[in-house]
Amino acid sequence: MLILVGLGNPEAKYAHNRHNLGFLTLDAIAKRWDFGPERAKFNARIADGVVDTDKGRVPILLLKPQTYYNDSGLAVSQAMKFYKAAPGDVVVFHDEIDLAPGRFRMRTGGGAAGNNGIRSITAAIGPDFRRARMGMGHPGHKDLVMSYVLSDIPKADHDWVNAMANAAADALPLLAMGDDEKYQAEVMRLAPAEKADPRASPSP
- Is there a contact between 97 and 148 (Cβ–Cβ < 8 Å)? yes
Write the CA distances from 103 to 14, 91, 106, 187, integer angstroms.
Answer: 23, 17, 10, 9
Q: Which of 19, 94, 138, 141 is catalytic?
A: 19
Closest CA to 20 of 153, 111, 143: 153
- Is there a contact between 109 and 128 (Cβ–Cβ < 8 Å)? yes
Query: What is the DSSP annotation of 43-97?
Result: TEEEEEEEEEETTEEEEEEEEEESS-GGGTHHHHHHHHHHHT--GGGEEEEEEET
CB-based burial label for 162 (10 Å; 0-12, 13-18, 19+): middle
Strands (E), the chain: 2-6, 39-41, 44-53, 56-65, 90-96, 104-108, 130-135
Query: What is residue 4's three-state secondary structure?
Result: strand
Residue 19 known to be catalytic: yes
Task: Report the chain's C-alpha Rg in angstroms.
Answer: 16
Active site residues: 19
